Structure formats: C-alpha cells, structure tokens
Chain A
Amino acid sequence: MTSAETEPVWPFERTTPLDPPAVFAERRASCPVSKISTWNGDEAWLLTRYDDIRAVLADPGVSSDLTLEGFPEPSATVAAARGGQKNFARMDPPTHDEHRRMLAPDFKVHHVAELRGYMSELVDNLLDRMEERGAPVDLIEMLAQPVPSSVICRILDLPAERSDFFQDRVRTWMSLDNPPQVARQANQDILDYFAQVVDERLEQPGDDLISRMITNQVETGQLSRDELLHILQLLLVGGFDTTANMIALGTLTLLQHPDQLALLKADPSLVNSAVEELLRYLSVAHQVAFRLAVDDIDLGHQCIHAGEGVIAPIAAANRDPEVFADPDTVDITRDARRHVAFGFGLHQCLGQPLARVELQVVFSKLFVRFPDLRLAVSADDLVFRNSIIYGVAELPVGW
C-alpha cells in the first residue's frame, strides 16, 4: 500500500554519480509499473522495464504536447524551460512528421558521415591546443564543449565567437537549479538571437541549413518564421550540451574503469561498441521521456488510461537486466546497440547520427594522443550538474 507520504517523488536522488536512482531497480523488481508523484503533487506512472518503456514511447496513444491538461513535468523550472518550446519535439503527428522531415535529410547517416573528416581535423586541433596549454586542463573547456559547438556552428553557419553566448544560454535553459523565470528568459534570448540571424539570412542567404530552410520551407509557406525560430532553438539545445556531457562523462567512465580503457587502447576497432556502451551506461538525458496518455494503453500487465501522465526514464530501460546482462557493469565489448539513450518512438533524437560520429572521433583519438590521461583531482571532488541533461561541471585532467 502506498500513501502520499510514502510515495516517491520525482526527481529521485542518485546515490552514486554515474548510476541512475536506485528506485528504478527497486521498482523494476517489485512493481515495474507504479504510480509516483511529481513536484506539483500530480501523479504519474513510472515505467522501469525496457519493454514497457519502448512500448509506451512508440505507442500512438501517447502525446508529447505539454500544453495538454495533465501533462507531467519533472519540475517547475523544466516546465518553464519546455513551456517556451514550440517545436516538433513538443508536437504529435501529423505536424511533427512534416516538420521533422524538413530537417531529416541534413541528419541522414550518409550525410553526417561526410562530416567525419572535418570532425577528425577539429578534434586533432583541439588536442593540439590542449597539449600546448599543458596539464592540468579542464577537459570540458578544451574538448567536450568545443566539439559539439563547433559542429553546430558549422551546420548553422553561426560565428564561432558567439559560442560562449550559446553555451551560457543553453546551460541556463538546461539547469534545474534556476528559478523558472531564468529558464524562460534563456529560451527567449536564444529565440531573439535566431530572429536576428534569420533576418540577416533573408537579406543574404548562404548555403547553410538556416538559409535553405528559409528558401525551401518559409518562403514556400510550409513553415512560419516563428516555427523556424523554435526549430533552431531545438537544434541548439539538442546539439550542444548532450554531446558535451557524453564526452566528459564518457572520459570519466573510461578513466574509472581502467580494464575497459585498456581494452579500447589495445583494440581501437572497439570504439563504436565502446560509444554505444557509454551511451547506454550513462543515459545522460535523464529528465526526458515524459508523456501524456491520450488513449488507453494496455501494457499486458497494466493498463494506462487516457489522461494519465507517464514517465519512461531511458536510464531505467538501459539498466534492465532482462535486456543487458550485468547492466550496472561497463563492458565495451557487449552489443549495447539496442539501448534507448536517444529515446524511442517518433521523437527519438534527430541528431543521433551526428552525436555518434562526434563521440566515435573523440574516443578514437583522445587516449591515443594522451595514453596516460588521468583525473587531476580526486573523483570525490567532482561536481555533477543538476540539469535536464546530466553532466559534470568541470573535468580537470592531466597526462
């Protein structure tokens, strides 16, 4: 029996920095689909099994439209941050599909593969700069942030000197520690910046993604200027902090598992499998996959009714022992490709091919250039970020 006092309340605390909250495993073993409370006292279903999480995220009976009555939210701040979003991540079909397909060609696997040469050169240059700077350095400042920000700036043709501005606003938007108004303002700043960029590109189009969307979608009437601004906001918040946190936490994970790092050093062909395992193990998108049931959904052992909120944590799916043996163990030789680190269903990450190549390039080079890379502080002194995407504030390293 549960009562309001004993019912766990989202978000749950982690007990160890790189593992999901223990509640997921406890519930998975005892009551895999159960009710929990959210910050404002609302109830929502918490899913903990891989199969249930995939089934619900892929079910046409769930909505991502957070303007709907009863939509569950992780916190007041996230509600404010996401409330400012009016893009296809917050839409259902058919508009979701129409908008997403406008962008999908730019994120095609083969199209993104063409950027591998650019990324390889970029990472080499960043590692050169790191060596010149001399140990110790903050890996986030020298590598983890510059890789995704340079790639996004290249795709959108944004000036690299504005990277600090984007970084600051995206981090503010992502943070769970700020008051809602601060998150709302960060969102508005990003939209205002893109409004200016779009006006410039209307005058002087280039061959970047923004210019092409203006020509192909806005000027043909398929997309409003405002819708374009919101799509650009999504590309920025989706592309910046996610990969940066994976680079930082992925490096930390390998440093803390020297046996796994030794395997990777001995056999560089393991890099792709290592990246999938790090994506699974870390599941950095730990405050996503909130949905509202708009139709009844029968999970076989539990029915979720229309109007009820559902939380489908990807970290719970990715640590399900039914799917991944010894799920709390890092094993870069396992086939982890079935993980749902990028989500599942029609909102699965658009930029995943890009993230994969960025991570593959970084982890194929970092430990070759710095074979003796190590933490320059005690792991106990690291500060982890309370953010929509999980991360570490600084990662001081030496070599």
Chain B
Amino acid sequence: MRIEVMPERCIGSGNCVDVAPRYFDQSDADGVVEVLAGDVAAEDEEAVAEAADICPVAAILLSLPSPAR
C-alpha cells in the first residue's frame, strides 16, 4: 500500500496523525498534512486505511502496488 496526499485539500483536522502517527504529521506553518513514510508496512495497513477513511476532506489516497509481472 502506498500513500499519496492532496495537501491543498487538507484543513488540518489531525485525524491521520492521531490514528497513524508513524505515517502522517502536520506542518508547522499551516497544520497541513505531511507524509512521513509513503510505503505502508503490512501490519500498519489497517491504521492507514482508517486514516484515509476518516479524513474529513478525502485528502489521503491509497494505492495498492501494481501486481508483479
């Protein structure tokens, strides 16, 4: 699983930092989302998926890696 964010949508609710603090932080300047690690470890996928689900402005996109050819 890979994380992409759309900081232009972010309103700094901090939900993602609350539920998946290893992957998300907020900027000092405007509280907007920053990704700490883009690749999600298997054991953290549930927490990161929850972060994406509860983001009030859908600023977090998750993609699964393309299947190996």
Q: Tell which of B11, B15, B21, B31 touches A105, judged by Cβ atoms closer than 8 Å.
A: B31
Asked if B12 contacts A110 (CB within 8 A), the reply is no
In A321-378, the 8 Å CB interface with B consists of 337-338, 342-346, 348-350, 352-353, 356
Assess whether A142 is interfacial by the CB under 8 Å rule: no
Asked if A343 contacts B56 (CB within 8 A), the reply is yes
Segment from A68-76, A96-104, A154-162 that makes contact with B: A96-104
Assess whether B53 is interfacial by the CB under 8 Å rule: yes
Interface SS of chain A: helix, strand, loop or mixed?
Answer: helix
Q: How far is the CA of A101 from the CA of B29 in the complex (A)?
A: 8
- Give the nearest-CB partner of A356 in chain B: B18
Interface SS of chain B: helix, strand, loop or mixed?
Answer: loop
Interface size of B by CB at 8 A reads: 23
In A55-108, the 8 Å CB interface with B consists of 57-58, 97, 100-105, 107-108
In B6-29, the 8 Å CB interface with A consists of 11-15, 17-19, 21, 25-29
Q: How far is the CA of A353 from the CA of B15 in the complex (A)?
A: 8
Q: Which residues of A contact B44 (CB under 8 A)?
A: none
Q: Which residues of B contact A352 (CB under 8 A)?
A: 13-15
Q: Which residues of A contact B30 (CB under 8 A)?
A: 101-102, 104-105
Asked if A104 contacts B56 (CB within 8 A), the reply is no
6 chain-A/chain-B pairs, Cβ below 8 angstroms = A101-B32, A104-B30, A337-B50, A338-B53, A350-B13, A353-B18
9 tightest A-B CB contacts, nearest first: A104-B31, A104-B12, A101-B30, A348-B56, A109-B14, A109-B17, A108-B26, A105-B31, A344-B56
A residues adjacent to B (C-beta < 8 A): 57-58, 97, 100-105, 107-110, 337-338, 342-346, 348-350, 352-353, 356
Contacts beyond the supplied A105-B31, A338-B54, A352-B15: 4 A-B pairs with Cβ under 8 Å:
A58-B58, A105-B28, A107-B31, A348-B13
